[in-house]
C-alpha cells in the first residue's frame, strides 16, 4: 500500500505542479483545525517508528503534499449563536483535494491494521484461504464500523438530532455545516474510495469482487447524495443505523471463524437487520416524503442549495426504498437457503442413525437359536424329532 501511495502522490504532483506557497501555520486560525500537511507529518512520524518501509518513503510523501498545499479551510462562514461564534462550512469542488488527502491516510491506516492486528491473528487461527479473506474483510470493516458508528452517534447527540427529530427536515437546506459534520462526510467518502484499490492489494478472489463492488458503490452513492443534496442530518442517522447493523454482522462472522459453534450471534444480527430496514424506511418517508413535502421553500435553487422539488424527492425515496427492498430480498433468500441446508442435514443425520441401529434377532415361535443349538423359551431343550424308517 505504501508503494501505491507514492505512485498516486507522484501522479498528483505531475498534474498539480508545486508552486511557491507561503509557510502555513500548524493550526489554521479561521477554523482552529489542524492543517493536512502537519497532520500527515505527525502521522507518518508515529507510524514510521519501527517500520522501515514507512520510514524510507515518509519524507518523499510529505514533501509532495507540502508542495501541493492541500487546502482544508474552504467556504468558511462565521455565525453568532448563543454558545458563541461558530464556524460553518459549505461544500465545493475543492473538497476533492481533501478527500484525496484522507484517501492516502486511509490506505496507510488500512495497512497498519492489516499488518499489526489481523495478520498476527491469522497466524494463530490457521484459517483456509477463503476464510482468511473473509476474516480480513470483516476485521477491517469491524474497526471502521465501530469508529464510524460511535462518531456518528456522538455527532447526532451534540447536534441535537436525537432529542429533536424534527430538525432532520426543518430549516432545510442544511447548507452550512459544522466542522465535525463536514469532516465526517469527507472521511466517509475517502474510506469507501480507498476500498476500490484495496480489492487489488488484498488479492480478493474474482467471485468475491462483484459482491464487494456492490456495497462499495451503494455506500458511495448514498453518502454522496446526502452530502450534495444538503440532507446531511438524515444521512447521519441512516449511516449510524446501518453501521451498527453491519458491526453486529462482522463481529458475529469473526466469532464464527474462531469457533464454528458460535452461531447465536447471527440470530441476534438477523433481528437487528430487519429492525434497521424498517426504521430506515420509516425515517426516510417521514423526513423526505412528509417533512420536506410540507416545507414552504418548494423549488429548485442552485445558489441557495435548495433541492426540495418533487422531481428530486421522488428519486431519493425510490433509491432508498429499492436499496432496502433489495437488501431484505437477499436476506430472505439467504435465510431460506440456510433453513433448507439445515433441514437436509437433519434428514441425513436421521438416515445415518437409522442405518447404525442394530436390528433385533428373529425368534421362532417354539424357541430361539443359541450357539448353534435350539433352546426353548423356558430354557429346556426341545424334544428330538423321530426319524421315520424308510
Per-residue pLDDT reduced to its tens digit, 4-26: 444 444 444 333 333 333 333 33
Q: How far from 115 is each of 46, 133, 253, 261, CA to CA, in Å? A: 16, 14, 20, 28
Q: Say if residue 106's pLDDT is above 90.
A: yes
Q: What is the pLDDT of residue 274?
A: 93
What is the tally of helices (H) and strands (E) in the chain?
A: 11, 7
The residue ranking higher by pLDDT, 35 or 164, is 164
The average pLDDT across 204-229 equals 92
Q: What is the pLDDT of residue 351?
A: 80
Q: What is the pLDDT of residue 157?
A: 92
Instruction: Give this prediction's pTM.
Output: 0.72
Contact predicate 176/88, CB 8 Å: yes
Q: What is the pLDDT of residue 240?
A: 95
Secondary structure of residue 205 in the 3-state scheme: coil
Spatial distance between the Cα atoms of 291 and 166, rounded to a whole number of angstroms: 8
> Which residues are registered as beta bridge partners of 367?
376
What integer best gives the mean pLDDT of the chain? Answer: 76
Confidence bin at 155 (pLDDT 50/70/90): very high
Q: Say if residue 218's pLDDT is above 50.
A: yes
Q: Say if residue 33's pLDDT is above 60.
A: no
Q: What is the pLDDT of residue 132?
A: 83
Q: Which residues are CB-contacts of 216 (< 8 A; sequence separation ≥ 6)? A: 192, 195, 196
Q: What is the pLDDT of residue 383?
A: 58
Secondary structure of residue 373 in the 3-state scheme: strand
Amino acid at each position: 500500500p505504501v508503494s501505491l501511495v507514492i505512485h498516486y502522490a507522484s501522479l498528483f504532483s505531475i498534474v498539480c505542479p508545486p508552486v511557491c506557497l507561503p509557510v502555513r501555520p500548524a493550526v489554521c486560525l479561521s477554523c482552529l483545525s489542524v492543517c493536512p500537511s502537519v497532520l500527515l507529518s505527525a502521522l507518518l512520524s508515529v507510524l514510521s517508528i519501527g517500520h522501515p518501509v514507512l520510514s524510507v518513503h515518509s519524507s518523499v510523501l510529505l514533501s509532495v503534499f507540502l508542495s501541493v498545499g492541500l487546502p482544508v479551510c474552504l467556504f468558511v462562514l462565521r455565525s453568532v449563536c448563543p454558545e458563541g461564534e461558530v464556524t460553518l462550512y459549505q461544500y465545493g469542488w475543492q473538497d476533492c483535494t481533501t478527500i484525496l488527502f484522507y484517501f492516502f491516510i486511509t490506505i496507510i491506516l488500512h495497512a497498519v491494521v492489516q499488518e499489526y492486528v489481523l495478520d498476527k491473528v491469522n497466524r494463530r487461527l490457521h484459517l483456509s484461504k477463503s476464510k482468511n479473506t473473509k476474516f480480513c474483510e470483516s476485521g477491517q470493516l469491524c474497526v471502521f464500523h465501530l469508529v464510524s458508528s460511535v462518531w456518528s452517534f456522538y455527532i447526532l447527540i451534540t447536534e441535537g438530532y436525537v432529542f429533536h427529530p424534527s430538525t432532520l427536515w426543518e430549516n432545510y437546506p442544511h447548507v452550512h455545516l459544522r466542522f465535525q459534520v463536514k469532516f465526517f462526510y469527507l472521511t466517509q467518502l475517502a474510506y469507501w474510495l480507498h476500498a476500490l484499490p484495496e480489492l487489488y492489494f488484498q488479492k480478493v478472489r474474482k467471485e468475491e469482487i462483484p459482491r464487494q463492488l456492490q456495497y462499495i458503490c451503494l455506500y458511495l452513492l448514498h453518502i454522496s447524495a446526502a452530502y450534495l443534496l444538503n440532507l446531511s442530518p438524515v444521512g447521519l442517522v441512516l449511516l449510524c443505523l446501518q453501521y451498527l447493523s453491519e458491526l453486529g454482522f462482522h463481529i458475529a462472522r469473526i466469532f464464527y471463524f474462531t469457533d464454528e459453534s458460535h452461531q447465536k450471534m447471527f440470530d441476534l444480527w438477523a433481528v437487528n437487520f430487519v429492525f434497521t430496514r424498517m426504521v430506515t424506511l420509516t425515517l426516510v418517508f417521514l423526513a423526505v416524503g412528509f417533512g420536506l413535502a410540507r416545507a414552504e421553500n418548494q423549488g429548485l435553487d442552485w445558489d441557495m442549495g435548495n433541492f426540495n422539488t418533487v422531481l428530486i424527492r421522488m428519486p431519493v425515496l425510490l433509491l432508498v426504498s429499492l436499496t432496502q427492498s433489495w437488501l431484505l430480498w437477499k436476506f430472505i433468500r439467504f435465510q431460506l437457503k440456510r433453513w433448507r441446508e439445515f433441514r437436509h442435514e437433519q434428514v441425513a443425520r436421521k438416515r445415518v442413525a437409522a442405518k447404525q441401529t442394530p436390528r433385533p434377532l428373529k425368534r421362532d415361535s417354539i424357541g430361539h437359536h443359541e450357539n448353534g443349538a435350539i433352546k426353548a423359551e423356558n430354557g429346556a431343550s426341545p424334544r428330538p424329532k423321530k426319524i421315520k424308517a424308510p
